[in-house]
Structure formats: structure tokens, C-alpha cells
Amino acid sequence: MRQSHRGQVDPFIVMDVMEAARRAEAAGRSIIQMEVGQPSSPAPAVARKALAAALDQPLGYTVALGLPELREGIARLYRRWYGIELDPARVIITPGSSGAFMLAFSALFDAGDRVALGEPGYPSYRQILRAMSLEPVGIQTRPEDRYQPRPKELPADVQGLILASPGNPSGTVLRRDELAALHARAQELGVALISDEIYHGLDYGAGFHSALEVSDDVYVINSFSKYFSMTGWRIGWMVVPQDHVRTVERLAQNMFICPSHASQIAALAALDGVEEADANLSVYAENRRLMLATLPQIGFARIAPPEGAFYIYADVSDLTEDSLAFAAEILEKAGVAVTPGLDFDPRRGARTLRFSYAGSTAQIAEGLARLAAFMAAR
């Protein structure tokens, strides 16, 4: 049977690495997971308790935009985090941030439109765009700019711009004035701006700002996956301009019917699990400290300044020109799974690696010890 051209997207390499690590573990090997951006902690206890209490009631369809009380809870989160008074009607609950991107791209762009994004960046932006007959346009960012795009670099012939702060894989953060400058340039060119804020809450002193602090004329995407440790629950949200709500609602009705009712119940309760989420953040902070202290000593010295999220992005061009093979060698010889930079930067990623420190501190310490032994023997 024929297959579509737009369906021939690149693999999500980190998922391939994750599968290789799983196979190694199934064969009896001990593998330290430093490849995937997934908290090792469970969802907040209040979230698990709330869902358990709801399991005896029917969990059927909800309205397409999500439970009203969850949308109201997220609006309160914006007041607490950013001091923004957000109309809950503008909040749309989605099947993870991935569902939000599909809705955003469908609502904002037509087939053939060009959408700019910083490189290195989250690989699924490019692949979802291609699967929707849109053209990703990479902006090659620089270490001296913290791997974030600058207004002058935004091409004039694009219809959209995706920003990510904190970024994946870099963990770097856009300041408020930088967000404002990028938004102003997008407005000048008539470019739709999408802000990926999925790692908000995971901050190590730089602070974090929402694009909604700058303008209401943006799409903002977030999720319960990272700060609230709910990756597998597949529940996210987006905030859109008021006059876009009905468009996105019609798309959501037809694409997804609604997000998971069970996950929405858990997410609503998770909003009260801040103490537990902040305790997890303290673990990441210690993991980050260990990584920054150890990686340069063992040969990974060229790293982006990780201001948020839970990643270290390292330039390994002095060690390899093939990050895919290098990551495979590390997995085979050290028993540590790391992500090749090709996932994030198709042009320069053969010379970079991403290390995740989302696991427990004991796991990170063991992973670093294994990496040190591997590098010493290499």
C-alpha cells in the first residue's frame, strides 16, 4: 500500500536510544538512564489519591476544551507564577504538549507555510511540522547567545516562530526583554509566535517568564509532564488569544474529542502538589551541581549554561564527529544512555550530546562515575 511523503519523518532518536537501553536491561545489563527527559519521581501524591477516589465513577468524555475547574486552576497558576490575570476561557487542555502543538500548527498555518525555530531545539517541532505539510526553517543559534534566537535572525519569509524557554536541549532561558524583542520582531513581520514553556517551574536562579507577560497575541504551550512529574499521563495545556478559542475548540473536537478524563482529574489535584514538586526540584538542583562539577573534569568541558529544565548540552567536537556512534559506544561500554545531538540540530548535532539529570541523585552519581571510567579508558 502507498505511503504519504509527509509521513516520512525522521525518527525521534532519543526514543530509539531509550529502546536500545531497554533491550540492554532486558538482557541483564545495568543501564543508567541519562537520555530521556523524564522525572524518576511519580506524580504528586495528591494527584494519585484524587484519581483513585474517582475510579468508581464513570470517566467518560469531557468537553473538548477540558474540565472547567482544571482550566480555572491553570489560570490561578499563571497568577501565582507570573502575576497574570488570565481568563480561564483562553486555557485549552490537551493530550500532552504534543497535542497542543498539533492544534496550534493546525490553527495557525496552512500547508506549505514556513515556521522558524532555533537549532538546537526539540526535534518533534520539525517532524510534526513536516507531517502537517509545513516547512521547518532552522535558525542556527550560538553558544554566546545561550542557544536562543535573536530578533535580527528571524527570516522575513516565514509565517511562524517557535520559541522554547527553558530550551531543550540547552536548558537556557529567555529574559523578559528578550521575549519582548522577539515578539516585537514577529509582530513587525506578521509572524505568529508560539512559546513552549513546558519546563517552567524548573529554575535554578535565572527565573522564568511567560510570553503572556509580553502580549496576549501569542500561543503558549505547557504541560504537567516535567515540573509535576506526569510524563506518562499525557496531559498538557495551551493558552491562545480569545478570538482563536473557537477555532482551536473545533479542531480539538475532531482530532481528540477530549483529553483523558482520568488525567485531567489527576492534573487538577496536582496543582496543589507544589510542595512535592519543589522537593523534586531540589533533587534536580543537586544533580545539576554534580554534573557541572564533574563533566568538565572528565572531558566534557564545552557545555551550555543550564539555567532551567534538567539537561546538559555538550559540544563534543573534540571527541567525535559522529555523536550517534559515540552515544552507542557510551551505552555499550559504560552502560550509560545519552542522547546524540543529531536529535536537536540536524546540521551540527553530530558533534554534540545531551545529558539528562532528571533521575535520582544516586543514579546521576553512578552515571557520572561510569562516564569517568569510560573516558579514562578511551
Whether residue 120 is contained in a domain is answered as yes
Query: Within 13 Å, how many C-alpha atoms sit on residue 243's CB side?
Result: 2
Query: Is it the case that residue 220 has pLDDT exceeding 90?
Result: yes
Count: domains in the chain: 2
DSSP-derived pairing of the beta strands 311-315 and 352-356: antiparallel
Whether residue 172 is contained in a domain is answered as yes
The pLDDT value given to residue 305: 83
The pLDDT value given to residue 174: 97
Q: What percent of the chain has pLDDT over 70?
A: 100
The pLDDT value given to residue 261: 98
Distance CA 277, CA 43 (A): 9
Domain end marker among 272, 307, 335: 272
The pLDDT value given to residue 150: 98
For 178-208, what is each residue's pLDDT tens digit?
999 999 999 999 999 999 999 999 999 999 9
- Cell of residue 94, nine digits: 490537551
- Secondary structure element (H or E) that encloses residue 262, with its range: helix 261-270
What pLDDT band is residue 257 in, cutting at 50, 70 and 90?
very high
Stretch 65-82: mean pLDDT: 98
Is the Cβ–Cβ distance between 309 and 343 less than 8 Å?
Answer: no
The pLDDT value given to residue 100: 98
- Same domain for 189 and 57, yes or no, is yes
- Same domain for 113 and 241, yes or no, is yes
The pLDDT value given to residue 304: 85
- Same domain for 182 and 55, yes or no, is yes
- Same domain for 366 and 228, yes or no, is no
Query: Is it the case that residue 209 has pLDDT exceeding 90?
Result: yes
Query: Within 13 Å, how many C-alpha atoms sit on residue 45's CB side?
Result: 4
- Helix, strand, coil abundance in the chain, percent, nearest 5: 45, 15, 40
Query: Is it the case that residue 352 has pLDDT exceeding 90?
Result: yes
Packed helices 323-334 and 13-26: angle between N→C axes, nearest 10 degrees: 20
- Same domain for 234 and 282, yes or no, is no
Whether residue 213 is contained in a domain is answered as yes
pTM of the entire predicted model:
0.95
Average of per-residue pLDDT values in the chain:
96
CATH number for the domain spanning 256: value is 3.40.640.10
Domain end marker among 272, 289, 318: 272
What pLDDT band is residue 329 in, cutting at 50, 70 and 90?
very high
The residue type at 224: F
DSSP-derived pairing of the beta strands 91-94 and 192-196: unpaired
Domain end marker among 244, 272, 300: 272
38: containing domain? 13-42+275-377
Distance CA 327, CA 322 (A): 9
Is the Cβ–Cβ distance between 300 and 373 less than 8 Å?
Answer: no
Q: What percent of the chain has pLDDT over 90?
A: 95
